Amino acid sequence: MNFIRNTIAVIVGLGIAGLIITLGIRMFPQWVTFEAFAPFEHWQKFLQSMQKDGAFFGFLLFISGLGTTVGGVATAIIVKYAKVAYAILIGFIMLFIAMLDVIIFPYHPTFYKVSIFLTFFPFSWIGGKIVEVIYERKKRRNIAEKINRL
């Protein structure tokens, strides 16, 4: 039962992170140079057009960090044990996807290629840590309430 729950948690976390990153890219219409929403069909042309624009890749790093944090939080909320570990798993999978993107489409600037390593793991760890701290505080408060009742 925990395997199914953990698998669903990872899928939900990845979905949330991917949705936030996709919506973040679509937020600025001057960056999106294609009409139909089909990001995988137009991604190569899009990266070629954005190759000189460092602001886009900086924003992409920011929105990737934000998406990975929220995805890590969602995953950590759903799993029962090892909340931070599963949140870091979200960061690892997102890093793997980003590395595939860099390998398949070589139009990313060097600072982006280096910075993705510094973005996904720390932000997913922060997402898991947020949930762990909240749960620990809740547990301590419940223990304190039980002691006060005695």
Average pLDDT over residues 28-33: 67
**What is the Cα Rg of the chain in Å?**
18
Q: What is the pLDDT of residue 20?
A: 94
> pLDDT class for 35, splitting at 50, 70, 90?
low
Q: How much of the chain is in helix, strand and coil states, percent to nearest 5? A: 85, 0, 15
d(CA 107, CA 46): 9
Flag whether pLDDT at 54 surpasses 80: no
End-to-end alpha carbon distance in the chain:
36
